[in-house]
Amino acid sequence: AISCDAIIIYGQRYAQYARELASIESNSKRKEELLWIANNCDVVPAHKPETFAQALQMYWFVHIGITTELNTWDSFSPGRLDQYIYPFYKKEKEEGTIDYHKARELLECFWIKFNNQPAPPKVGITLKESGTYTDFANINTGGINPYTGEDGVNEISYMILDVMDELKLLQPSSNVQ
């Protein structure tokens, strides 16, 4: 429970800091983005995500919590990202509140975020050494939907492959099932 509470507090601090940055921001577009970030962090991780962006943010907060708590230097697979976030994308796409390009932009930002995240310090490793070591996330894509037994490939599965092909970043790596 302590770890879960810590991640909720972490999300609240993100929201607070985004609002602080927005209050001094002179660029109206950036100010709007910061307030949007703050509003999303008001929802997750304390509550169930309601949007595609919130689902990605929740996934990120959980990833940070797990890698910090478990110190997973050798690798960590946060699971089937495409299957977890697809329902949020599908709902918003049907409502007309998101399109492929906006979702892909958010997914690209998410991918870049993984590469800005050094691994937490490990026993016997200096902070300087730790800062050069990523947390080696591996995301499963596609495969079988564990709830229905049917093919779990969806539009996000292909979007992930497109993002990986375009960005060519070290991580997260992906297994296609």
Q: List, for residues 100-139, the tens digit of each pLDDT value.
A: 999 999 999 999 998 877 666 666 777 676 666 666 778 8
Name the strand (E) or helix (H) holding 139: strand 137-141
- Cα separation, 155 vs 90, in Å, equals 9
Number of Cβ within 10 Å of residue 154's Cβ equals 18
Estimate the crossing angle of helix 100-115 against helix 52-70, to 10 degrees: 20
Which sign, positive or negative, has the C-alpha torsion 161, 7, 21, 31? positive
Q: What are phi and psi of 34, to 5 degrees?
A: -65, -40
pLDDT in tens, the chain (177 residues): 788 899 999 999 999 999 999 999 999 999 999 999 999 999 999 999 999 999 999 999 998 888 777 766 566 777 789 999 999 999 999 999 999 999 999 999 999 998 877 666 666 777 676 666 666 778 889 999 889 999 999 999 999 999 999 999 877 888 888
Q: What secondary structure letter does DSSP report for 108?
A: H
